[in-house]
């Protein structure tokens, strides 16, 4: 059994972590770090434990992630989640702003009856996983994502938007000019464009002269700001021999991407 000095030392160490950390004795939380307390809007572990629900209740009932409905009969939630492959040990929890966040769990249980559970925030990685770049997904002539790949992952992108409470924005960029099919010009344009966007955004080659920029934002107001930034970027990187036209559409009330594409 760990003495009080050891527990204080552990507390000091876990408070330096940016990830959420909870220490359990058996199935009962006995310590939380500052990051966890801040996530729930609490000042200390004492504040947490005074009104704490069963810990499994923190896990949102999202069908894609581990929650109490996925606990097998007679098992603790620890036993059930440890039966999953490491990459599937993901839960969703809601912060004080009612924002869903996704966490990958690491569980260390080698010390007596103590378990150290680390919650790594992978919310942004959910989108990155969908948009992971490899040769099969890339249009080799331009370096942008291929149209075929984008159409394959549309459903996943829609789910990511719902989970993260975002809306999807699409902006078409149609290049105009006599040398729009010049391979080097196209590659240079795509390379420059991709260097200015976020990792979560996508640039898709839709046709020889048309690209679609795909992004997730919090609101239509922010989407409009993205469009303004888009125009600034294209004006800056496009060769003087070319011009372009563009059009933007934003998701409303959970519209499907297919409907947005029809509007472009």
Whichever domain contains 37, its CATH number is 3.30.450.20
Residue 119 dihedral angles phi and psi, to the nearest 5°: -105, 105
For residue 128, pLDDT over 80 is answered with no
Residue 230 lies in a domain: yes
CB 80 within 8 Å of CB 107: no
Which of 121, 155, 185 is the last residue before a domain boundary?
Answer: 121
Is residue 126 situated within a structural domain? no
Enumerate the β-bridge partners of residue 108: 116
Would you say residue 242 lies in a domain?
yes
Tens of pLDDT, residue by residue over 137-146, are 889 899 999 9
Percent of the chain beyond pLDDT 70?
94
Predicted TM-score of the model (pTM): 0.54
Joined tokens for residue 262: 């029809």
Question: Residue 197 sits in a domain of what CATH number?
Answer: 3.30.70.270
155-192: b (≥16 Cβ within 10 Å) or e: eebbbbbebbebbbbbbbbbbebeebeeeebbebbbee
Cβ neighbors of 124 (< 8 A, separation 6 or more) are: 199, 200
Structural domain span for residue 86: 4-121
Helix (H) or strand (E) holding 156: helix 147-163
Answer with the one of 71, 94, 121 that is the final residue of a domain. 121
pLDDT-based confidence at residue 135 (cuts at 50, 70, 90) = low
SS3 annotation, 79-99: HHHHCCCHHHCEEEEECCCCC
Dump pLDDT digits (tens) for 203-258: 999 999 999 999 999 998 999 999 999 999 999 999 888 999 999 999 998 799 99
- How far is the C-alpha of 108 from the C-alpha of 81, rounded, in Å? 13
In a domain, 202, yes or no: yes
Q: How far is CA 54 from CA 8, 24, 27, 29, 59, in A?
A: 24, 12, 10, 10, 10
* 135 and 255, same domain (yes or no): yes
Q: Are residues 104 and 136 in the same domain?
A: no
Same domain, 239 and 176: yes
Q: Are residues 115 and 139 in the same domain?
A: no
User: Tell me: the pLDDT tens digits for 42-93?
Assistant: 989 988 888 778 899 999 888 778 999 999 888 899 999 999 999 899 998 9
Among the candidates 121, 156, 173, a domain finishes at 121
Examine the domain organization and report whether 48 and 114 are in the same domain.
yes
Question: For the chain, how many structural domains are there in total?
Answer: 2
| 39 in a structural domain | yes
């Amino acid at each position: 059994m760990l003495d009080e000095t050891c527990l204080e030392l552990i507390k000091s160490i876990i408070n330096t972590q940016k990830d959420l950390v909870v220490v359990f004795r058996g199935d009962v939380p006995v310590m939380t770090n500052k990051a966890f307390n801040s996530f729930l809007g609490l000042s200390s572990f004492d504040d947490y434990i005074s009104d704490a629900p069963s810990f499994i209740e923190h896990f949102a009932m999202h069908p894609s992630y581990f929650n109490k409905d996925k606990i097998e009969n007679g098992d603790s939630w620890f036993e059930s989640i440890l039966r999953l492959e490491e990459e599937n040990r993901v839960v969703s929890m809601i912060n004080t702003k009612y924002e869903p966040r996704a966490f990958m769990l690491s569980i260390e249980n080698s010390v007596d009856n103590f378990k150290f559970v680390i919650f790594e925030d992978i919310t942004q990685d959910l989108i990155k996983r969908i948009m992971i770049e490899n040769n099969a997904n890339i249009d080799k002539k331009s370096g942008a994502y291929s149209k075929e790949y984008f159409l394959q992952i549309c459903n996943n992108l829609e789910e990511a938007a719902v989970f993260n409470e975002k809306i999807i924005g699409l902006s078409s960029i149609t290049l105009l000019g006599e040398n729009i099919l010049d391979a080097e010009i196209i590659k240079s344009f795509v390379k420059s464009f991709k260097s200015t966007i976020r990792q979560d955004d996508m640039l898709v080659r839709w046709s020889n002269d048309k690209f679609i920029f795909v992004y997730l934002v919090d609101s239509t107001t922010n989407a409009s700001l993205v469009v303004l930034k888009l125009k600034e970027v294209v004006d800056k990187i496009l060769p003087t021999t070319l011009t372009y036209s563009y059009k933007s559409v934003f998701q409303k009330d959970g519209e499907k991407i297919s409907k947005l594409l029809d509007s472009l």
